Structure 1
Amino acid sequence: RVINAPIFHVNADYPEEVVYVCKVAAEWRATFGKDVVVDLVCYRRNGHNENDNPYVTQPIMYKAIEKQKPVMEKYAAELISSGVVTTDDYKNEIEKYDQICKKAYDDSKGILVNKNSEWLDSPWGDFFVNKDQMKVAPTGISEDIVQKLGVQASTYPKDLEIHSSLKRVLKTRMKMVEDRTVDWALGETIAYMSLLIDGYPVRLSGQDVERGTFSHRHHVIHDQLVDKKTYCPLNNLDGLFEGKKPAPYTVCNSSLSEYAVLGFEVGFSQVDPNCLVLWEAQFGDFANTAQPIIDQFISCGQDKWVRQLGLVLLLPHGYEGMGPEHSSARLERFLQMSNDDPSQELKFGDDFVMQQLHDINWFVCNISTPANFFHAIRRQILLPFRRPLINMSPKAILRLPEARSSFDEMIGDTEFQRIIPETGIATEKPQGVQKLVFCTGKVYYEIAKTRKVAEKEHEVAVVRVEQISPFPYDLVRDEIAKYPNASISWVQEEHKNMGAFQYVEPRLRHLLMNMGRNDKVKYEGRFPAASPAAGNKQLHEQELDAFMSNICNPDFY
């Protein structure tokens, strides 16, 4: 009753009954498309390994098990007594099987090289053939495509009666398209659409992903008068571009069972390298219940399982006074599991960027603009190999007026920005900049606001690290060199023992030493804590004010 599935109990001592039950279960599954459970009632003759002595802890049970004849002997005796086989037939079959095993064992001694494709159930055919592993196709697209897809994402059929609030949302989107800008939801939608029209299927699952947890996405539009009448703009791209047959888009709300759902999406992403698979947590904090999948299969997919996967994890993250269960996607955990060396030898050759992407086990990002997210999503498919992408998705940035991007940042030869450098007043006289702040994610907008109010835009330069792992040493080096008189700070909204600081600090220090400098990287953010965030809104604001007030304070330069 818990999972609404029948359970068949069967005694494993009777092989024919086991076969019968399994056939019935398979027919049930095939006929009704529903789950079914086979409860195999059996025992383990030995302990959890052949050397384990189970009598130490389960003496009575294992005395009873020891008296049991093995299933094969019991079944053989039954077949012999009923005349189905003879004793010689039985012995011959045993001997035949033993010879098969012995031959396989002997043959294995002559195998000197293991071919990965022989161990994989979906080796992806010719995916890696004729691809330069050090080159990625351009992620920018033409303005005509952006325009048409933007309009498609902002319209709906005339015979659909939609909610009044959604009418306002779509009207606002259309206005953005006219103004050649995108917010986060529109940038994301255009990214998916651009892949669909090029023939790449896209699949998005998670909790409330159809409309978006924060009512921002609206990829499934519901008729307000007709039950179950819906419209998906991403699955209505036929005829939009001549000669292009769009791939299917799947968006599906999932249950609050992150472990099970993420495990399914891992498997799905391994079937076809040309299908973009994304899983979005309702809040990034909820990824903690899927930690075994992340640890066992995603972070180490290639090293441990000889399997590449391009799965994208969208984890809403950001300290906005929503408490310890709705603030932190535990950025620090993902960075800790990145396999790059903080003291690696720094050689900035032509292939440095692609070599980093190729060698890392996954990409960990905290993206702050819609255009950059657009490029990151397209890069996932256009790379000549596959790596998971972990993105600390925004909440506040979804509707923040400052967090919008121009079409100019998505078209032509534009690409994903691993960092977003300072572009304001501070760049006019870099020699006069007293403080260089590195940060990541939405805290940038709070820093920018604080700096403007304090009228310190000429003294404090701010650089956003959009891709934290692999760390963009080359670009960060250029920014440090640009402001020779500036102190170096890392600002984050997470507590000191969380967030990116403990990952970034040794890499910044190593880079500074490589540049012949001995600067200390200053930390500015919340104090260490056991809980991911304060449970009190007032305390949250006090913490924010405390470290924001230091950013433009000359005493902290």
Structure 2
Amino acid sequence: MYHERINRATNRNITLSLVANPSHLEAVNPVVQGKTKAEQFYRGDSEGKKIMSILVHGDAAFAGQGVVYETFHLSDLPSYTTNGTVHIVVNNQIGFTTDPRMARSSPYPTDVARVVNAPIFHVNSDDPEAVIYVCSVAAEWRNTFNKDVVVDLVCYRRRGHNEMDEPMFTQPLMYKQIHRQVPVLKKYADKLIAQGIVTLQEFEEEIAKYDRICEEAYGRSKDKKILDIKHWLDSPWPGFFNMDGEPKSMTCPATGIPEDMLTHIGTVASSVPLEGFRIHPGLSRILRGRADMTKKQMVDWALAEYMAFGSLLKEGIHVRLSGQDVERGTFSHRHHVLHDQDVDRRTCVPMNHLWPDQAPYTVCNSSLSEYGVLGFELGYAMASPNALVLWEAQFGDFHNTAQCIIDQFISTGQAKWVRHNGIVLLLPHGMEGMGPEHSSARPERFLQMSNDDSDAYPAFTEDFEVSQLYDCNWIVVNCSTPASYFHVLRRQILLPFRKPLIIFTPKSLLRHPDAKSSFDQMVSGTSFQRVIPEDGPAVRAPEQISPFPFDLIKQEAEKYQGAELVWCQEEHKNMGYYDYISPRFMTILSRARPIWYVGRDPAAAPATGNRNTHLVSLKKFLDTAFNLQAFEGQTF
């Protein structure tokens, strides 16, 4: 939620924004930092003097959860710093039922903050004046040095976990001591009364006044019949939705752009805008290749991405691409940041030289982190709907260590937090003999968490395509052409709402001579194809996997009434897309025709580590796919 109030020291409004926090300890940390960074960016607050973040932690989680360390290590990186965060650790000296002696290997829970040399203040929470003093010093430190600072509130839980647990089961001696403690409110009141600062009557009147405020608010809550969702958003996105919180339309304009714009972007993408800037000879060959493609009005994957980003920048859309090695690209295909071969730290980003009044493009290599960085980018995408925010995994399956962010914020974001979010995940995927750790982006996981119903026969209304996207929890695609990649990136912004977009991106296809698209497939009037119909033999190439394109699959299947229907995938049968698409094919075809499966057998690991075994299995299922007679009569 967010709330505006008057800052009595400056007599100016201050906005307090509270980010939704799942019960996955400390997962919200990088999300807050990303949102803070975005707010600073949009307000031109490069020094963090207008916007800052405060993170409230638990002691056991602060010491135990690795995302705390990952977030601290973002604190001073150029594209991730928020110019200092105040960390408040509520130190109950116990984690649920576990003693610190069993929970950490350092004396203090806050020792992890020493990794960035943050000052750490340990303060007795039974002394409110000391707490206020320490917090003032912490605020002054952050404001002066723009660095992180930690306040360790050394306290205790009076009634155990959630104020409902029985702590005597596991910490009997500790809780005998706690039960003998005078509550902090009484302790402080007795001190003020003894010093003559307040009277007993004044103290009792203040307590009664506070109780009345709580009781009246509780009473009003019972009378409230309508929940105003906008009060529960940490960023309201003014002007994006209607007054009732719904999209302003249910249409998506064509995503193509004029041919001269494609040519211009291709020309800049193949040039070095700065004079006297010497690039690597190998990069010169790459730029000449881009220029040649532009001349022939063709694009590969990297140039299609350039076209999508560049066109959005012209329209005032800020683009931010983040992740491990994204500036060059894991597969040396992108090269969005050029490095002078003679001058250290002299770089050039041609994307920021496309148009005179374009939006800024941020492309930034991240720390070697998935959990923290994906959370950061998710938070960044929360701040505004008018930005394309992308996180790219070095290899697709590296999202494994960021699964908590995916499960708690991205998949469930709208259902659980009532929040739209347009973050894009780029996950390199493909069974190409690179071993079990560098092959599968685990599409089955994303599809299993998609909320469209495999058994529900949809009503094909006029706005079916957009309505289906609006009803889903996220969009999952595996583009087979650069043009499709171009369109789906632009559609992500042109849609009248925001949904997370999961893209399984290629590896070897980045340079495959046949994996190219022409300008004709990207010019004005063209748009993203959820299914690419075959012009020749009856073979389908699904593009948008989820939500499932029921309408187009039905049309294609009806064209070829006498044909065998085959789902061929390179992933193992218990992985990939088969379990997702099979029941949906059955629904749309009313179970009148069988669906044949051709692919690798079920397995535990996503890919073999042996190159020869990979090639043998590849040949086997391709032979099967193109020689169905040998498998007639089998049920799949």
User: What is the TM-score with the length of structure 2 in the denominator?
Assistant: 0.79
Q: Secondary structure at the match of 2:491?
A: helix
Q: Secondary structure at the match of 2:161?
A: coil
**Would you say 1:139 and 2:252 are equivalent positions?**
no
Question: What is the deviation of 1:310?
Answer: 0.6
* Closer, same or farther: CA 312–58 of 1 in aligned 2, 3 Å: same
Q: Which residue of 2 aligns with 1:312?
A: 424
* Cα distance in 2 between the residues matched to 1:293 and 1:421: 36
Is the CA contact 1:328–1:533 (under 8 Å) kept in the aligned structure 2? yes
**Would you say 1:358 and 2:470 are equivalent positions?**
yes
Deviations 1:16-60 (A, max 9, x none): 222222233333333333333322222111222233211112211
Q: Which residue of 2 aligns with 1:547?
A: 621
Structure 1, gaps ≥5 residues long: 240-244, 427-460
- Letter of the structure 1 residue corresponding to residue 404 of structure 2: P
**Would you say 1:41 and 2:154 are equivalent positions?**
yes
**Would you say 1:518 and 2:631 are equivalent positions?**
no
Q: Which residue of 2 aligns with 1:486?
A: 563
* Cα distance in 2 between the residues matched to 1:308 and 1:411: 29
* Closer, same or farther: CA 79–355 of 1 in aligned 2, 3 Å: same
* Closer, same or farther: CA 30–523 of 1 in aligned 2, 3 Å: farther
* Cα distance in 1 between the residues matched to 2:467 and 2:354: 36
Q: Which residue of 1 aligns with 2:352?
A: 235
**Would you say 1:186 and 2:303 are equivalent positions?**
yes
* Cα distance in 2 between the residues matched to 1:33 and 1:399: 44
* Cα distance in 1 between the residues matched to 2:415 and 2:280: 49
- Letter of the structure 1 residue corresponding to residue 615 of structure 2: E
* Cα distance in 2 between the residues matched to 1:4 and 1:151: 46
Is the CA contact 1:133–1:385 (under 8 Å) kept in the aligned structure 2? no
Q: Secondary structure at the match of 1:354?
A: helix
Deviations 1:444-489 (A, max 9, x none): xxxxxxxxxxxxxxxxx32111100010111111111111111111
Question: What is the deviation of 1:362?
Answer: 0.5
2:435 to 298, 323, 340: 323
- Letter of the structure 2 residue corresponding to residue 495 of structure 1: H
**Would you say 1:198 and 2:315 are equivalent positions?**
yes
Q: Secondary structure at the match of 1:506?
A: helix
Q: Which residue of 2 aligns with 1:468?
A: 545
Question: What is the deviation of 1:167?
Answer: 0.8
* Cα distance in 2 between the residues matched to 1:316 and 1:337: 19
**Would you say 1:52 and 2:165 are equivalent positions?**
yes
Question: What is the deviation of 1:292?
Answer: 1.0
* Cα distance in 2 between the residues matched to 1:72 and 1:334: 50
Is the CA contact 2:568–2:598 (under 8 Å) kept in the aligned structure 1? yes
2:447 to 308, 331, 335: 335
- Letter of the structure 2 residue corresponding to residue 498 of structure 1: M
Is the CA contact 2:157–2:163 (under 8 Å) kept in the aligned structure 1? no
Q: Secondary structure at the match of 1:490?
A: strand
Is the CA contact 2:430–2:440 (under 8 Å) kept in the aligned structure 1? yes
- Letter of the structure 2 residue corresponding to residue 102 of structure 1: E
* Closer, same or farther: CA 281–223 of 1 in aligned 2, 3 Å: same
For 1:22-41, what aligned pairs fall within 5 Å after superposition? 22-41=135-154
Is the CA contact 1:221–1:232 (under 8 Å) kept in the aligned structure 2? yes
For 1:60-71, what aligned pairs fall within 5 Å after superposition? 60-71=173-184
Q: Secondary structure at the match of 2:223?
A: coil
Question: What is the deviation of 1:349?
Answer: 2.0
* Cα distance in 2 between the residues matched to 1:105 and 1:549: 70
**Would you say 1:301 and 2:378 are equivalent positions?**
no
- Letter of the structure 2 residue corresponding to residue 525 of structure 1: G
**Would you say 1:262 and 2:374 are equivalent positions?**
yes
Question: What is the deviation of 1:265?
Answer: 1.3
Moved more, 524-533 or 77-86: 77-86
Kindly tell me the number of residue pairs found equivalent between the two proteins.
Answer: 514
Is the CA contact 1:133–1:358 (under 8 Å) kept in the aligned structure 2? no
- Letter of the structure 2 residue corresponding to residue 229 of structure 1: R
* Cα distance in 2 between the residues matched to 1:537 and 1:150: 37
Q: Secondary structure at the match of 1:194?
A: helix
Is the CA contact 1:489–1:521 (under 8 Å) kept in the aligned structure 2? yes
* Closer, same or farther: CA 377–292 of 1 in aligned 2, 3 Å: same
* Cα distance in 2 between the residues matched to 1:530 and 1:496: 11
Question: What is the deviation of 1:544?
Answer: 1.1
Is the CA contact 2:429–2:505 (under 8 Å) kept in the aligned structure 1? yes
Question: What is the deviation of 1:385?
Answer: 0.6
Q: Which residue of 1 aligns with 2:234?
A: 121
Question: What is the deviation of 1:227?
Answer: 1.0
Q: Secondary structure at the match of 1:85?
A: coil
Question: What is the deviation of 1:132?
Answer: 4.3
**Would you say 1:148 and 2:264 are equivalent positions?**
yes
Q: Which residue of 1 aligns with 2:500?
A: 388
User: What is the TM-score with the length of structure 1 in the denominator?
Assistant: 0.90
- Letter of the structure 2 residue corresponding to residue 121 of structure 1: D
Moved more, 266-275 or 18-27: 18-27
Moved more, 545-554 or 141-150: 545-554
* Closer, same or farther: CA 492–373 of 1 in aligned 2, 3 Å: same
* Cα distance in 2 between the residues matched to 1:3 and 1:332: 39
1:218 to 312, 335, 347: 335
**Would you say 1:106 and 2:181 are equivalent positions?**
no
* Cα distance in 2 between the residues matched to 1:92 and 1:524: 77
Q: Secondary structure at the match of 2:589?
A: helix
- Letter of the structure 2 residue corresponding to residue 20 of structure 1: Y
* Cα distance in 1 between the residues matched to 2:169 and 2:533: 65
Q: Secondary structure at the match of 1:384?
A: coil
Among all aligned residue pairs of Structure 1 and Structure 2, give the percentage whose two residues are the same amino acid: 59
Q: Secondary structure at the match of 1:349?
A: coil
* Cα distance in 2 between the residues matched to 1:79 and 1:59: 33
- Letter of the structure 1 residue corresponding to residue 603 of structure 2: A
Q: Which runs of 4+ in 1 moved over 4 A?
A: none
Q: Which residue of 2 aligns with 1:535?
A: 609
Is the CA contact 2:529–2:543 (under 8 Å) kept in the aligned structure 1? yes
Question: What is the deviation of 1:368?
Answer: 1.2
- Letter of the structure 2 residue corresponding to residue 325 of structure 1: E
Structure 2, gaps ≥5 residues long: 1-113
Is the CA contact 1:206–1:253 (under 8 Å) kept in the aligned structure 2? yes
Deviations 1:92-124 (A, max 9, x none): 211111111001001111100001011112111
Moved more, 81-90 or 332-341: 81-90
